[in-house]
Amino acid sequence: MFKKNLVLCCLLLLPSFLLAQQTANQELTFGAYAPRTMMHSYNTMREAKAEKRADRECYLENSNSWNYITLNSLTDFTPKLLADNSEGWKTVNGKIMPTAKGDGVMVYRTQITLKKISSFRQVFLYVGNASALSEIYVNEKLAGKSFDSNSPTEYDITSFVKEDLNIITIVCYGSSKKSKIAELYSDTVGVQGDIYAYTKDKVHIFDIENLVTISRDSVQAVVETKVIVNSFMLNKKEFRIDYSLYSPFGERVENGYVDSDIEMKNKLPFSFSMNIKEPLLWSSKNPDIYTLYISIIHRNRVLEVVRRDIAITNIEVSEKQLVVNDEIQKIVAVNYTPKTTLTLKEAIFEMQQIKSIGVNTLICSSPMNENLLIGADRAGLYVVTPININNSSSGADLSVGGSLANSPEWLAVHRQRVENYICRQKSHPSIIAWSLIGGGANGYNIYESYLYAKKLDVNRSIINKFADGEWNNDIIFEIEKNIVGEWKDGDLLTSKGTLSAKAYKLMETQSPIYVRKLEQDGDLFKIINNTEKDFPAGALLYRLSVNDIIIKEGVNAYPISAKSATEMRASTSKVVPMHYQIKYGQELRSNRKFKLDFYVNGQLLMHYIL
């Protein structure tokens, strides 16, 4: 008998709103690539292992090279703004895109130069999180539009670009475009996430699906993988899908390949399965992650490499408790407002900071982006994330047509929003439940949204606070009773972004001895002694290891007085001494996973993935 946990590949989303002028059953987007889990492509396996997302031929990062202009109203927007005219434009300094308030219009523009792309590249534009209504123009032609605002969207702009110079313009409209189906949570106008253009080969990976099956005694796991390849070629070609799976310690567990022809302009699934003996199970206590690398190869040339984090875990949420790998979990939760501009390194560090104060669950006010979810997966945080269905602006009339919740002609739009959220995010093991945030009537469309969500993700519960006792709410344990604070300035954080006194107090309730990293890229740690006794020198041991091979150890050199704290340095260097490379050559050649563990009296205290 086997337990099953669906682990599809990763991706991000944020709260969405529909255009007021939009008609029922209209598509949420025009010219957009189909919803899928977000993934980053790499040129080589080495780049994929290092997660090196640098500027390169097939990933054109333009977040730092945009210009913008703020308009006061819709009437101020004219077609001339789509042309290359520098009058009135300002330059974006840094990665965070500027936004406006109220009923204005934000216009963003950049120039990209493409060379020799017409025969072998597809060109895409990623817009991370745009408000109300957004329109995409390429070389002054409308290339795409989204009514599903504040939701990441990809556009295939290949047919609109040309070799050499191209002008890309994004127009974001304000609160006059307020949606019928979702209340605006703020009057912010603009893009609150990354914007970048990138190119891919004419044959590339469109999506990856993983179904993980764990034996009842947990001594074996099977990962069944389907890779969906999209071809824009004008003729049939032979391709190879090469795959390799690595353990959390960098050991190669299994590898292989699948050969097949890909028809012209077609999507083709490649399937394979991998067996894992005595798998390491993922949980908040032990966030062990396997890594899957998939390459497309044509005539011995690697077209792209994609990496996927895979967790072997079995999560069950009942009405009263959370059970992970047959162990009941004690929930310690915080309310969390996701940030949209963190890099992967910054997101991982923030998730580790939250974990360091004894928290293991995030209750999100809006969906987390991809970097934050990867950080939550690797830190071992449980996440309750929303699907934004909010009909409160249309009232709570339960008669047919009395509100959007009870207007069947709006069902397709509801289903599209549910699909956009779940398909992009459900691969992340950190997500333990979806919540239907919002308000309004709990009518026909909300019932169907609940059922559709359960169909798309059979393994997770749905929280619907507005069900008012009706059946479309799984009513998992009252998680609000386990919330210990807010991850924001004035509560668990100070205005400088450091931990507050309340956060330190929370540490005291979680562990008598605590270790917290003070620097994102440094070796400085804070050791907190919450006990009534002095903590002796040498009682705290740290170990730096690579692929589970210990390369550095150390202890606290001085005692720590009762109810006090001190700082110490523990090496986080990723440089492996030569004598270790010689001794463990084979174990260190394929991939390197670094971790830093702290022990007290032989018991694991803190675990950092470096």
Report pLDDT for 428: 93
Q: What is the mean pLDDT of the chain?
A: 82
CB 594 within 8 A of CB 610: yes
**From 103-107, 354-358, 509-513, the region with the lowest mean pLDDT:** 509-513
Q: Which of 41-55, 122-136, 207-221 is predicted most confidently?
A: 207-221
Report pLDDT for 532: 81
pLDDT in tens, 322-350: 889 989 888 999 999 888 778 888 888 89
Report pLDDT for 19: 31
What are the residues facing 598 on neighbouring strands?
542, 606
In the chain, the percentage of residues whose pLDDT exceeds 70 is 87
Contacts of 488 (CB under 8 A, 6+ apart): 337
Report pLDDT for 160: 93
Report pLDDT for 225: 94
Contacts of 319 (CB under 8 A, 6+ apart): 474, 475, 476, 477
Which has more confidence, 116 or 557? 557
Place of tokens 């606070």: 465
Is the pLDDT assigned to residue 509 strictly greater than 80? Answer: no
- The H or E element containing residue 510 is helix 501-510
- Assigned fold of 203-310: Immunoglobulin-like (2.60.40)
Contacts of 87 (CB under 8 A, 6+ apart): none
**From 14-23, 366-375, 594-603, the region with the lowest mean pLDDT:** 14-23
Sign of CA dihedral 246, 252, 258, 262: positive
Report pLDDT for 456: 92
Q: Which of 115-119, 192-196, 339-343, 458-462 is predicted most confidently?
A: 458-462
Is the pLDDT assigned to residue 403 strictly greater than 90? Answer: no
Euclidean distance between CA atoms 363 and 485, whole angstroms: 10
Q: Which residues of the chain does CATH 2.60.40.10 include?
A: 203-310, 512-609
Q: Which residues of the chain does CATH 2.60.120.260 include?
A: 12-201
pLDDT in tens, 451-480: 999 999 988 888 888 888 888 888 776 777
- The H or E element containing residue 604 is strand 603-609
Report pLDDT for 117: 59
pLDDT in tens, 417-435: 888 889 888 899 999 999 8
pLDDT in tens, 280-301: 999 998 899 999 999 999 888 8
Is the pLDDT assigned to residue 370 strictly greater than 50? Answer: yes
Q: How many CB atoms lie within 10 A of CB 93?
A: 8
Pick the CATH number of 512-609 from 2.60.40.10, 2.40.10.340, 2.60.120.20, 1.50.10.20: 2.60.40.10
Chain mean position to CA 372? 5
Which has more confidence, 190 or 170? 170
Report pLDDT for 15: 29
Is the pLDDT assigned to residue 55 strictly greater than 50? Answer: no
Report pLDDT for 590: 63
Q: Please measure the distance between the N-terminal and C-terminal CA atoms of the chain and give it in whole angstroms.
A: 37
Beta strands in 318-381 (DSSP E): 322-324, 327-329, 333-336, 361-364
| pLDDT interval class at 21 (50, 70, 90) | very low
Report pLDDT for 305: 93
Contacts of 290 (CB under 8 A, 6+ apart): 223, 245, 246, 247, 248, 253, 276, 279, 280, 309, 310, 311, 312
State which amino acid sits at residue 199: T
pTM of the model: 0.80
Mean predicted confidence (pLDDT) in 87-105: 78
Is the pLDDT assigned to residue 13 strictly greater than 70? Answer: no
Q: Which residues of the chain does CATH 3.20.20.80 include?
A: 329-485
220-231 vs 67-71, strand pairing mode? unpaired
Is the pLDDT assigned to residue 272 strictly greater than 60? Answer: yes
Report pLDDT for 116: 65
Report pLDDT for 3: 41
Is the pLDDT assigned to residue 317 strictly greater than 90? Answer: no
| pLDDT interval class at 253 (50, 70, 90) | very high
What SS3 state is found at 291?
A: strand
Is the pLDDT assigned to residue 24 strictly greater than 60? Answer: no
Euclidean distance between CA atoms 486 and 321, whole angstroms: 22
333-336 vs 483-486, strand pairing mode? parallel
Report pLDDT for 65: 75
Could you tell me the CATH superfamily of domain 329-485?
Glycosidases (3.20.20.80)
Domain 12-201: give its CATH architecture.
Answer: Sandwich (2.60)
CB 503 within 8 A of CB 531: no
**From 38-47, 100-109, 173-182, the region with the lowest mean pLDDT:** 173-182
Report pLDDT for 6: 35
Q: Which of 329, 325, 248, 285 is nearest to 548 (CA)?
A: 248
Mean predicted confidence (pLDDT) in 229-248: 89
